[in-house]
Structure 1
Amino acid sequence: MLKFGIQLLLAAVILLVLIFVFLTRLLLVLRAGSTHKPGKTGPLTVFTVAGSGGHTTEILRLLGSLSQSYSPTHYIMADSDKMSEDKICSFERSRGKQSSKFQYFIHRIPRSREVRQSWSSSVLTTLRSLLYSLPLTFRLKPDLVLCNGPGTCVPVCASAVLLGILGIKKVIIIYVESICRVENLSLSGRILYHFSDYFIVQWPVLKEKYPKSVYLGRIV
């Protein structure tokens, strides 16, 4: 009995040490900046998370203001999203007329959370989405993740953070809260507020509530 108690205590100590190391590494990754300047040491590989409805429209407006240094763009969307791909292809054809240096790819992963899905079941679907996000993120190793609220961005950003925790690559995460969020953050925003490198809101009320955020006015 005593031997079992010692083994249990030892296992608990090891677990606490591992948790401490993980949290310390996470803190270092979140505090780390990026010295990479677009166009200076090469183009930036961008992950952009598209979502059904207005999310894709807003994110494309943001991408329209970026230079060709932000290329290639890898669009990640839910496999049940039937509308975003047409919008993306139309947008990229327009950009292609401006410069042949704009490159893009489309990837699909399982949806993290359906509309009106219960919180308990969304944990399992988010984990499933994460399992698809991880190999994609580790293979492509993006420099930047740009997202604005669809549930799919949570597992994608989690994969990017894990890339940094493991010491493989620091990925900059930029979260732009949707223009329709005037007084409160979306669920994705409430989660990624703590993990994003730049958290941008479009209403002064949100800036007051969330001091870490950056208020630039309406940008989409």
Structure 2
Amino acid sequence: MNMFYAVLGIAVLVSLLIVARFFYGKRVGVPRNTSVSLLVVAGSGGHTTEILRLLGSLSQSYSPRHYVLADSDKMSEDKIRSFERKKAETSPSSLFTLNRIPRSREVRQSWSSSVLTTIRSVVYSLPLTFRLKPDMVLCNGPGTCVPICISALLLKLLGLKRVTIVYVESVCRVENLSLSGKILYHFSDHFFVQWPALKEKYPKSHYLGRIV
């Protein structure tokens, strides 16, 4: 029975992505507003460190920043708060929020059960993403980013907000994409890799060298 629900869940997720991609297949640029509402997906360990390094190179126009963390991630919140305290020293008006959703997949979790937990994560991600209506989603590989990006695609599909999805593959991925990268390579608006071998394998990606 679990396998049946797993297969059904995969079919639902894939169908949602294909439909959203069909209706909103044209890639869009980053909004040219005076400010860009940014939804940032943090992941435990190195993912959060990398994404904060990337945020450190962005201008003050990327505000507010809405961080999304897995509910079992105990380390990222401290890193984010420390980063934002330093940012507030130069930009007192800088705004950010912290938001938690269920983790879509734990390390070494079985594939069948991970589909079910991913669907659960999507259920929590939808109202959050629809409420925040970000201009851009920025992520770099944690499993939590897949439900968030699915929600952003549905925002486009329903005509509620045209969200730009920017995916930056982790620097530790030298020859192969992460599972999140393999999924979002087909649906992100801008997909960046940090090694030339990945650019050769995935020609639609952008290679600018190491950026984090």
Correspondences of 1:66-215 after superposition (within 5 Å)? 66-215=58-207
Deviation per CA, 1:83-126: give whole Å up to 9, x if none: 00000000000000011121110000000000000111100000
Matching residue's letter, 1:169:
K
Return closer, same or farther for 1:147/1:25 CA change in 2, 3 Å cut-off. closer
Aligned partners of 1:68 and 1:102 also within 8 Å = yes
Q: Give the Cα separation in 2 of the matches to 1:201 and 1:137.
A: 25
> TM-score, normalised on structure 1?
0.86
CA displacement at 1:32 relative to structure 2: 4.2
Q: Give the Cα separation in 1 of the matches to 2:33 and 2:82.
A: 25
Return closer, same or farther for 1:23/1:180 CA change in 2, 3 Å cut-off. closer
Matched residue of 2:137: which SS?
strand
Q: Do residues 27 (structure 1) and 22 (structure 2) align?
A: yes
Cα RMSD for the two superposed structures: 1.4
Aligned partners of 1:68 and 1:101 also within 8 Å = no
Q: Give the Cα separation in 1 of the matches to 2:205 and 2:122.
A: 26
Matching residue's letter, 1:198:
H
Q: Give the Cα separation in 1 of the matches to 2:22 and 2:56.
A: 33
Deviation per CA, 1:136-192: give whole Å up to 9, x if none: 011110000000000000000000000001111110000000000000000000000
Deviation per CA, 1:23-46: give whole Å up to 9, x if none: 56632413142472142xxx1110
Highest CA radius of gyration, 1 or 2? 1
The equivalent residue for 2:32 is 37
Q: Do residues 55 (structure 1) and 47 (structure 2) align?
A: yes
Matched residue of 1:76: which SS?
strand
> TM-score, normalised on structure 2?
0.89
Query: Which of structure 1's runs of 4+ aligned residues deviate more than 2 A?
Result: 22-28
Aligned partners of 2:20 and 2:153 also within 8 Å = no
Q: Give the Cα separation in 1 of the matches to 2:171 and 2:19.
A: 34
Q: Give the Cα separation in 2 of the matches to 1:35 and 1:73.
A: 15
Q: Give the Cα separation in 2 of the matches to 1:35 and 1:188.
A: 21
Matched residue of 1:139: which SS?
helix
Matching residue's letter, 1:26:
R
Return closer, same or farther for 1:32/1:199 CA change in 2, 3 Å cut-off. closer
Aligned partners of 2:41 and 2:138 also within 8 Å = yes
Structure 1 unpaired stretches of 5+: 1-18
Q: Give the Cα separation in 1 of the matches to 2:153 and 2:209.
A: 28
Matched residue of 1:66: which SS?
coil
Return closer, same or farther for 1:83/1:25 CA change in 2, 3 Å cut-off. closer
Aligned partners of 2:30 and 2:136 also within 8 Å = no
Deviation per CA, 1:66-94: give whole Å up to 9, x if none: 11110000000100000000000000000
Q: Percent identity?
A: 69
